[in-house]
Amino acid sequence: MFRLRHGLIAALALAFLVSLPPPAAAVSLNVQGYTSGGSFTFADSSTPIPVGATLKIRVWVDLMSCDPVTVDWGDGSPIEQRNYGGSFAGDWTHAYAAEGAYVITATEALCPGTNVDTLTVTVGSSLLDPSGPLFMPAVVGVVLGIVGVGLANGKVPPAGGPRGRIGGPGAGGPPVPQPRPRLRLLEGIPASMVAHLVSLRDIPMRARLQFPVMQPPRIGIVPGQPTDLWEDVPCQHGCGKLGYTVAGWFCRNPTCPGRGR
């Protein structure tokens, strides 16, 4: 009786498993990156792909896929087809010859039926591409932003001397209005804090403050010559390089005489 009961339970469980539909998962694709100038760059679908670069995508298929898998790159080129032979994923490459937004369509055969997934990629120059039309405007915008921050952090000198009065000392006339002080335009641009960032442990003992946090050293601008925003800034005595910390700017050379103001 015990064996009959367990045999009946096993038969019911087997019938239930047979009646279940086969496992299925929709086909999917994602961008792996692109190759340009001989080097591979990791990227996703939100990253603009340079024109002429070789785009690499990965297409994942269903467990019940029975081949073939096709990819339409969306630019009018011939649709590619491949048999996975039981593999779950495969890499595909393609190069776009013109800028634009392209919809990539991947299709797999399920026997019967098909699964379809799409992905949109953008082909064109990014802001950091030196050959792109937006590179120089982006650089000019960054430089002007740095100059604006430097002007905003500059201190306005106080008006010199006491206010005079009409008729000389002791006269009872109204005070003479003083002209408003003019804003002083500081020369150069502030040195990069990121390029000079160091730890307080890198600063020699008894090193004195060279420049406060809000008054960084400045890099001179020579008309007609490019300005290096990442240029190393020397100490005030010219015997070493400055380092930027949370406490301000310090000389990193322990042998520099008079390391500070």
Average of pLDDT values for 29-42?
Answer: 92
Last residue of a domain, one of 123, 151, 166: 123
Question: Mean pLDDT across the stretch 42-51?
Answer: 88
Q: Judge if 114 and 39 occupy the same domain.
A: yes
230-252, pLDDT tens digit by residue? 778 888 777 788 888 888 888 88
Ranking 88-102, 115-129, 144-158, 198-212 by mean pLDDT, the lowest is 144-158
Is 155 part of any domain? no
Q: Which of 123, 151, 176 is the last residue of a domain?
A: 123
Q: Is 11 among the domain residues?
A: no
The pTM (predicted TM-score) of the whole model is 0.42
Q: Are residues 108 and 198 in the same domain?
A: no
Region 34-42: mean pLDDT is: 91
Q: What is the pLDDT of residue 78?
A: 95
C-alpha distances in Å from residue 40, one per residue of 29, 32, 34, 50, 199? 19, 10, 6, 12, 34
Give the separation between CA 237 and CA 223, rounded to whole angstroms.
26
The pLDDT of residue 18 is 43
Give the closest residue to 56 by CA, choosing from 125, 119, 117, 100.
119
Q: How far apart are CA 196 and CA 205, in angstroms?
A: 19
Tokens of 192: 């990069």
pLDDT at residue 183, rounded to an integer? 65
Residue where one domain finishes, among candidates 73, 98, 123 = 123
Q: Which of residues 132 and 253 earns the better pLDDT score?
A: 253
160 located within any domain:
no
If asked whether residues 190 and 118 sit together in one domain, one would say no
Q: d(Cα 174, Cα 167) in Å, to the nearest integer?
A: 10
Residues 138 and 127: beta-carbon distance below 8 Å: yes
Number of domains, the chain: 2
Range of the domain at 60: 21-123
Q: How far apart, in Å, are the Cα atoms of 242 and each of 162, 196, 205, 246, 257?
A: 39, 7, 15, 13, 14
pLDDT band of residue 3 (cuts 50, 70, 90) is low
Q: Are both 48 and 119 inside the same structural domain?
A: yes
CA distance 61 to 42: 22
Q: 118 and 27, same structural domain?
A: yes
How many angstroms separate the CA atoms of 192 and 31, rounded?
Answer: 35
pLDDT band at 20 (very low <50, low <70, confident <90, very high): very low
Q: Are residues 103 and 194 in the same domain?
A: no
pLDDT by residue (tens digit) across 49-97? 999 999 999 999 877 788 899 999 999 999 999 999 888 899 999 999 9
What is the C-alpha to C-alpha distance for residues 187 and 140, in angstroms, rounded to an integer? 18
Pairing mode, if any, of strands 248-251 and 28-36? Answer: unpaired
The reply to whether 153 falls in a domain is no
**CB count in 10 Å sphere of residue 251:** 25
What is the domain-level CATH number for residue 119? 2.60.40.10
Distance CA 231, CA 240 (A): 14
Q: Is residue 56 part of a domain?
A: yes
Is residue 28 a part of any domain in this protein?
A: yes
Residue 31 CA to chain centroid, in angstroms?
18
